[in-house]
Amino acid sequence: MNYQAGHFQVVVIGAGHAGIEAGLAAARLGCKTAVFTINMDAVGNCPCNPSIGGTAKGHLVREIDALGGEMAKTTDACFLQSRMLNLGKGPAVHSLRAQIDRRAYAAIMKHKLELQENLSLKQAEITEITREESGLYHVVTRLHADYTADAVILATGTFLGGRIFVGDVSYEGGPDGMFAATELTQSLIKLNIPLRRFKTGTPARVLRSSINFDGLEVQKGDEPVVPFSYETEKELHNTAVCHVSWTNDATKEIILKNIHRSPLYGGMIEGVGPRYCPSLEDKIMRFHDKPRHQLFIEPCGADTEEMYLQGMSSSLPEDVQVAFYKTIPGLENVEIMRCAYAIEYDCVDPLALTATLEFRDLPGLYGAGQFNGSSGYEEAAAQGLVAGINAARKIQGKEPMILDRAGSYIGTLIDDLITKGVMDPYRMMTSRSEYRLVLRQDNADERLTPIGREIGLISDARWERFCKKEEQKKEEMTRALRTVFSPTPELNEILVSRGTSPVATGVRLSDLLRRPQLSYADLTPIDTTRPENIPQAVLENVEIELKYEGYINRQKADIAEMRRLEGKKLAADLDYDEITGLRLEAREKLNKVRPENIGQASRISGVSPADISVLMIYLSKK
C-alpha cells in the first residue's frame, strides 16, 4: 500500500551526469526539486572511462559551463592530466580532454547536490510513474513512497532494464556492480513511451603494479594547463601521465578463435551498440585487415592502483579476456581487478521528444542523457542541463530555452536526436555540425553566457568577468586593425624565419595575424603596444577570428538562412496527409516527427528539398 510522501515541483530520476545537471539547474532556478538515485554512493559515478571531454565532447563541457552548469568546474577540481586534442588541425576541432580522479569527481558532485538549496537527494529505486488527468505526476518508490510532482525528468542512464553480459554469463544488473531498475520499464510502456534496447561496454580495470611500463610510449599532459571552466582562476598542474600500447597478431588470433563465445556474435545481446566506440572483438571483426589497434593505459584516480584500458572494451568470457590482455606489450603479467563487460538497457526513441526535451504527448515529462539514446558523460550532462532549465521554466510560466544547432553543439545534439532519431547510441562529433568554425570551444562563453545570464544561472561576479573579457576582445580587435608595423629588419627576420614573405611597406598587425605561419607569440618581440595584462584566451579568440574571417562570415550567412527557415513555424496539429504534392515517405516522417518549423523539417531523413518547397508554398497560401 503506497503512502503519500510529499510533493516536489521537479523530480529527477537518476543522479548520473544528466540527473546532476538537471537537479542543480531546476533547484537553482527556484523549484523545489528531488533527485532520486538507486545508490547514494553512485552519484556522479563514471562507470566507463575516467575522463571528461575529448573531440567535440570538450566543446559540450565548455558550453555547459557557459550556461551555468557544473561539469567543467568539477573537472578542474579533480583532474589528473589535461591535454588539448587536435592541435595539428584547425581551431574548429581543438578539444580539451582531462583525465580525472573518478572518485573525487563523484564525491564533489554528491556534495554539491547535498549543499544545494531547494534540492533533496534521496536513495530510492523508482518503480512506477503515473499521470493524473490534471497533469500531476505520481512517482512511486520500491518502498511504496508516493511523491507527487509537477514535472519529472527521466535520467536513468544504463540502469533501466540493465543486463550485464560477460561471455555466456548474463544477469540483471547496473554498471559497476549496482543493481538494475527492473520495474520502471513496464510503467513507461503503460504511458505509451516508445522504448528500445541499446548496449554499451567497458574495458577491464587492472592493477598498476602488474603493468610493465618500460618501453611503452608516455603520454604527458600539456603545460600550461587550460582549464575547462571560465570560472577557474587558480593555476592548474598535471599530476599524472598516461601510456600507449598496441594489440598485435596474437591478440587478434585469440579473439577470432573465441569469437563464438562472444554474446555479441552469439546472439545473446539484442541491443544495438555504439558505432563509434565498439568493443575490441567488434573492431577485430569489422576491421579484419587492420594489423593492430591502439589502447591507452590511464589512471582511475590519485588514491587507487586501478588502471583503465581505454579502447579495450569487451564482453568475451573472463578466461578469454585474461588471455588476450596478456598478449599486449606491457600487460604480459597483468592482473585484472574488474572484468570488462557489456551492458544492455532500455532507452526511448528520441523522436517522441521536443526541442525542450519534453515528451510531445506527455506534458511535464522530460528525458535526458542515455535514456534519450545518446552515449557519453558530456552528452548526458548537456541534456540534463537543458531538461532541468526547461522543466523549471515551464512550472514558472516562462518561455522555454531552445538552443538551435547554429548557436551551440548542445543545440546540434538535441536537434539531431529529436529530428533524425538514432539507430545506435549517439556520440557527438565535430563533423555533426555544419557550423563548426563558428561553434568553437574558445568562444562558447561569448555564444552562451548571455543566455545563461538571462535564465538566471550566471552570477553577478561571473557576468562582470565575462563583460570585461568581451570588452578586452573588442579593444584588442580594434588595436590589431589599427596597429601598423614598419618594414624593419627585425620584422622581416621574424617573417622569413617563419616561412612567410618579408614586407617592403608598412603592414597592419591584423594582416600579419591573418598569415597562417604567424601567431601573436611570433610577433611578441616587436608588438610593443600589446597590453601586458590581456588574457591569452582573448588573444587566441582574436587571432582565430582574423585568420578565418572569410570562412566565418560565410558560415554566418548560412546561419542567417537557416534561422530564416526556423522562423517559418509549422502547426503542431498539422495533418501532412492533406498537403497535396508531398511524397508518401515525407508525409509519414513529418507526421511522426511533428517538426516545429521548416528548418527542422528540412533535416528529417526522407524529406527532400522538393518536399520543403511544397511546404513553403503551403505556408505562403495560408
Residue type at 354 in one-letter notation: T
Which among 4, 61, 620, 106 is positioned nearest to 384, based on CA atoms? 61
Residue 407: the pLDDT is 96
- The answer to whether residues 158 and 175 touch, using CB atoms and an 8 Å cutoff, is yes
- The answer to whether residues 51 and 98 touch, using CB atoms and an 8 Å cutoff, is yes
- The answer to whether residues 604 and 593 touch, using CB atoms and an 8 Å cutoff, is yes
- The answer to whether residues 225 and 238 touch, using CB atoms and an 8 Å cutoff, is yes
Residue type at 151 in one-letter notation: A
Residue 621: the pLDDT is 83
> What share of the chain in percent tops pLDDT 90?
89
Residue 273: the pLDDT is 62
The whole-angstrom separation of Cα 602 and Cα 87 is 34
Residue 264: the pLDDT is 77
Residue 275: the pLDDT is 66
Residue 6: the pLDDT is 96
Is the pTM value of this prediction over 0.85?
Answer: yes
Residue 154: the pLDDT is 98
- The answer to whether residues 77 and 103 touch, using CB atoms and an 8 Å cutoff, is no
Structural domains of the chain, ranges and CATH numbers in brackets = 3-198+347-455 (3.50.50.60), 205-344 (2.40.30.260), 465-552 (1.10.10.1800), 567-621 (1.10.150.570)
* DSSP secondary structure string for all residues of 67-102: HT-SHHHHHHHHEEEEEEETTTS-GGG-EEEEEE-H
Residue 1: the pLDDT is 87
Coil, helix or strand for 545?
helix
The whole-angstrom separation of Cα 175 and Cα 179 is 8
The whole-angstrom separation of Cα 256 and Cα 247 is 13
Report pLDDT digits (tens) over 85-129. 999 999 999 999 999 999 999 999 999 999 999 999 999 999 999
Q: Is the dihedral of CA 585, 587, 588, 593 positive or negative?
A: positive
Question: What residues of the chain score a pLDDT lower than 50?
Answer: none
